[in-house]
Structure 1
Amino acid sequence: MPNIGWTELIIIVFVVLLLFGANKLPDLARSMGRSARIFKSEVKEMRHEDEADGQSAAATPTQQRQIESAPAQETRSAAQEADFWDRPENQPR
């Protein structure tokens, strides 16, 4: 696979500017950042849940009864997502 040189990089930037315009680029970057942040938090939450499942599978029967009798709680991802959209910097303009 060939390396991208300075001339190719300049051509790519020029084409992107022509397609989207200078005014749309900050909005495009902001939405990509939001999407990446949400994706990252969901992946982190899935890893956390997998670790919790692995620990509960290795738990003793007494610990499993305590886990099962605990009240159901709202998942962190749902609470984080609600908090994420309530922040002023994430409000649609």
Structure 2
Amino acid sequence: MAGLGAPELIIIAIIIIALFGWKKLPDMARSVGRSARVFKSEVDEMKKDGAASQATIKGDVVTKDEERRAAEARADEAERKAAEARAEAERLRGDTTV
């Protein structure tokens, strides 16, 4: 932070308090912390994915058909889970209306 001393930081803090209000600052700080945690976890996940892709054996080639089949399998699994969730929700609704 080039050239930011105590007086400048105090002025910035006063401006932030004036703009957002004293009561909203804890909520904003909490929100920024959550966002930073989510961002960090996504970056870590991307690093893991990058390490996994670099670990593939040289000469392994994944064709577009294989990629498509894998994507279809993931979509089918997601649809199956969604159907199970809908059935469970219907069952629970039916139990509470009796």
The TM-score range, normalised by the shorter chain, is 0.5 to 0.7
Consecutive unaligned residues of structure 1, counting only runs of 5 or more, are 62-67, 74-93
1:13-92 matched pairs, under 5 angstroms = 13-56=13-56, 58=57
1:3 aligns with 2:22: no
Consecutive unaligned residues of structure 2, counting only runs of 5 or more, are 61-65, 75-98
Question: What is the root-mean-square deviation of aligned Cα atoms in Å?
Answer: 2.6
TM-score by length of 1: 0.59
- Mapped to 2, the partners of 1:2 and 1:16 lie a distance apart of 20
- Mapped to 2, the partners of 1:19 and 1:39 lie a distance apart of 26
Q: Give me the identity figure in percent.
A: 50
- Mapped to 2, the partners of 1:35 and 1:52 lie a distance apart of 26
Q: Secondary structure of 2:55's match?
A: helix
TM-score by length of 2: 0.56
* Bigger radius of gyration among the two: 2
- Mapped to 2, the partners of 1:60 and 1:20 lie a distance apart of 57
TM-aligned CA deviation for residue 11 of structure 1: 0.7
Once superposed, which parts of structure 1, at least 4 consecutive aligned residues long, lie more than 2 Å away? Answer: 58-61
Bigger relative contact order, structure 1 or 2 (CA pairs below 8 A, ≥6 apart) = 1
TM-aligned CA deviation for residue 2 of structure 1: 4.8
